Amino acid sequence: MDSIIVKGNGPLNGQIPIAGAKNACLTLMPATLLSDEPLTLTNAPRLSDIKTMSALLQSLGCEVSQLQGGQVLVMSSHDLNNHVADYDIVRKMRASILVLGPMLARDGHAVVSLPGGCAIGARPVDLHLKVLEAMGAELELKEGYVHAKAPGGLKGGTFEFPVVSVGATENALMAATLAKGATVLKNAAREPEIVDLAVCLRRMGAQIEGDGTDTITIQGVDRLGGATHPVVTDRIELGTYMLAPAICGGEVECLGGRIDLLGAFCEKLDAAGIEVAETDKGLKVARRNGRVSAVDVTTEPFPGFPTDLQAQMMALMCTAQGTSVLEEKIFENRFMHAPELMRMGAEIDVQGGTATVTGVERLKGAPVMATDLRASVSLILAGLAAEGETIVNRVYHLDRGYERVEEKLGNVGAHIERVSGQ
Ligand code: EPZ
């Protein structure tokens, strides 16, 4: 298993290119199942999760070609010949459940393994199943698999989500494009990745309104065509790299960065004393003073503060002036980075879903362990500002969501290198 070694090396200066969004790409790829014409995605990120989704689609009989080093994906489900999404692939990546809605909508049947839990929480898929049942699907759970049928095709219906769910909104949105009649999704997720999916589906011929709001209306059509669609910028990678000059000092321009993707995150940066300036290439970020100020954070669905930036923000707050309270309201176990940050001298008190962080002048480098995707990058951010050397182990977590971290941070002056494991 590879490790990454980081040495505190002072301020960072320069430009960091931001890639296409992992969480947009992982829902755009299954959309190819809705049509037997090719779907081409440009600006695709080069990540292990994208490879996993490609393997899943290929296991169903889809063609997936990766061009330009993986930045362009050309997919076709014309020869779809298998409707079973196997546990072996699904267990590696929960987003695999997103093939259920499209497959069911296209051919009236699908068998998809339940994903199981993950490090940050139980993460059930009950809402994915409930909304499909509301559209007329007959579901049966057998030996860890969902057996879904819609013999006469899916029917449009109205469904109000009891809690906001990004994935369940995506599954329902894709399924509804081919259902008979109109579907209304209430308390729908509003994330930019939902909007990006709707833009792509409209390019394929879908009739969708209200994406980006909490009520999405879809008028089913008989068939969808192919399309070419650029994956939206990754707002989580963007927010992560915006925190690098915040924790180290200096000035970094995040190329392709857009304020409208960030919601409450930007407000919190401003309150912490971080200047964000829009340029014609993206977003320029720098601290206003020598040390940021502590701010309180509560994670919420978009446009609230993203749960996927909570770990990274905690790393910043570990070096802030004052005490900050971070409330994780989306997932039940998303503070696993806290004990690792404490090994670096951070002062954090975790009580259930609340972490109270008292900032210290300087963290100290130490060997630490990545436990999940966003926790791993928060340890790298902490290492960038720490005195001495930090070794982040199990970086396979990192490679799921961040391409070429060493290169991107090294290019702005970070002292960072990857060491291949045995
Ligand atoms: C998506 O996961 C993202 N993953 C996650 O990013 C992100 O943290 C999450 O949305 C929240 O923004 C992808 O897009 C691939 P949810 P998803 O359904 O769709 C509960 C990362 O780091 N829930 O919005 O699985 C659930 O337990 C990953 O890139 C149900 O109860 O998240 C959670 O508490 C991590 N039943 C809450 O809803 C369901 O059927 C939000 O989950 C579905 C969800």
Give tens-digit pLDDT for 5-16: 999 989 999 999
Taking alpha carbons only, the member of 5, 105, 17, 89 closest to residue 55 is 89
Judge whether 370 and 393 are in contact, CB under 8 Å: yes
CA distance 400 to 283: 24
Judge whether 22 and 47 are in contact, CB under 8 Å: yes
* Residue whose token pair is 């509003």: 190
115 pLDDT tier (thresholds 50, 70, 90): confident
Q: What are phi and psi of 150, to 5 degrees?
A: -145, 70
Strand partners, 145: 113, 142
Does the C-beta of 235 come closer than 6 Å to ligand 1? no
**Residue 339, pLDDT above cutoff 90:** yes
Least confident of 352-356, 361-365, 371-375: 371-375
187's CB contacts (< 8 A; 6+ apart) are 160, 161, 162, 163, 164, 214
Taking alpha carbons only, the member of 337, 354, 323, 349 closest to residue 390 is 337
pLDDT of the residue at 413:
97
Does the C-beta of 23 come closer than 6 Å to ligand 1? yes
pLDDT of the residue at 422:
60
pLDDT of the residue at 118:
75
Does the C-beta of 258 come closer than 6 Å to ligand 1? no
What tokens does 4 get? 């990454």
Query: Mean pLDDT over all residues of the chain?
Result: 96
Q: How far is the CA of 206 from the centre of ligand 1 (A)?
A: 25
Residues 178, 179, 180, CA angle at the centre, nearest 5°? 120
The whole-number average pLDDT for the span 19-28 is: 98
Q: How far is the CA of 41 from the centre of ligand 1 (A)?
A: 23
225 pLDDT tier (thresholds 50, 70, 90): very high
Does the C-beta of 165 come closer than 6 Å to ligand 1? yes
Burial of 155 (0-12, 13-18, 19+ CB in 10 A): middle
**Residue 45, pLDDT above cutoff 70:** yes
Does the C-beta of 302 come closer than 6 Å to ligand 1? no
120 pLDDT tier (thresholds 50, 70, 90): confident
CA distance 353 to 121: 12
Q: Which DSSP helix (H) or strand (E) runs through 235?
A: helix 235-248
The whole-number average pLDDT for the span 318-325 is: 98
Taking alpha carbons only, the member of 232, 231, 253, 250 closest to residue 241 is 253
Taking alpha carbons only, the member of 71, 137, 130, 67 closest to residue 107 is 137
Of 330, 374, 398, the residue with max ligand 1 atoms within 8 A of its CB, to mutate for a pocket test, comes to 330
**Nearest residue by C-alpha to atom 18 in ligand 1:** 165
Does the C-beta of 307 come closer than 6 Å to ligand 1? yes
The whole-number average pLDDT for the span 317-346 is: 97
Judge whether 145 and 114 are in contact, CB under 8 Å: yes
pLDDT, tens digit (0-9, with 9 covering 90-100), for 128-137? 999 999 999 9
**Nearest residue by C-alpha to atom 44 in ligand 1:** 165
Question: What is the bridge-based pairing of β-strands 39-42 and 63-67?
Answer: unpaired
pLDDT of the residue at 277:
98
pLDDT, tens digit (0-9, with 9 covering 90-100), for 203-212? 999 999 999 9
The whole-number average pLDDT for the span 223-245 is: 98
- Count CB neighbours of 68 within 10 A: 10
**Residue 310, pLDDT above cutoff 70:** yes
**Residue 119, pLDDT above cutoff 80:** no
**Nearest residue by C-alpha to atom 28 in ligand 1:** 308
Q: How far is the CA of 74 from the centre of ligand 1 (A)?
A: 27
Q: How far is the CA of 361 from the centre of ligand 1 (A)?
A: 35
**Residue 52, pLDDT above cutoff 70:** yes
**Residue 116, pLDDT above cutoff 80:** no
**Nearest residue by C-alpha to atom 42 in ligand 1:** 165
Q: How far is the CA of 84 from the centre of ligand 1 (A)?
A: 23
The whole-number average pLDDT for the span 395-407 is: 93
**Residue 194, pLDDT above cutoff 90:** yes
Query: Could you tell me how far CA 174 lies from the centroid of its own chain?
Result: 18
pLDDT of the residue at 121:
80
Taking alpha carbons only, the member of 95, 53, 97 closest to residue 75 is 53
- The runs of H, that is alpha helices, within 60-162 are 87-90, 100-107, 126-134
CA distance 54 to 320: 41
200 pLDDT tier (thresholds 50, 70, 90): very high
**Atom number, ligand 1, closest to the C-alpha of residue 26:** 15
pLDDT > 70: what percent of the chain?
A: 100
Q: How far is the CA of 166 from the centre of ligand 1 (A)?
A: 6
The whole-number average pLDDT for the span 36-61 is: 97
CA distance 255 to 286: 15
**Nearest residue by C-alpha to atom 6 in ligand 1:** 308
pLDDT of the residue at 337:
97
* Residue whose token pair is 């292990």: 48
266 is catalytic: no
The whole-number average pLDDT for the span 277-291 is: 96
Does the C-beta of 374 come closer than 6 Å to ligand 1? yes
Question: What is the bridge-based pairing of β-strands 72-76 and 297-298?
Answer: unpaired
CA distance 106 to 99: 11
CA distance 24 to 98: 12
285's CB contacts (< 8 A; 6+ apart) are 242, 245, 246, 251, 252, 253, 254, 269, 274, 275, 276, 277
**Nearest residue by C-alpha to atom 14 in ligand 1:** 23
Residue ranges of E strands in 167-268:
182-186, 207-209, 215-219, 227-230, 250-255
CA distance 25 to 241: 20
167's CB contacts (< 8 A; 6+ apart) are 27, 94, 95, 97, 98, 125, 128
Strand partners, 347: 358
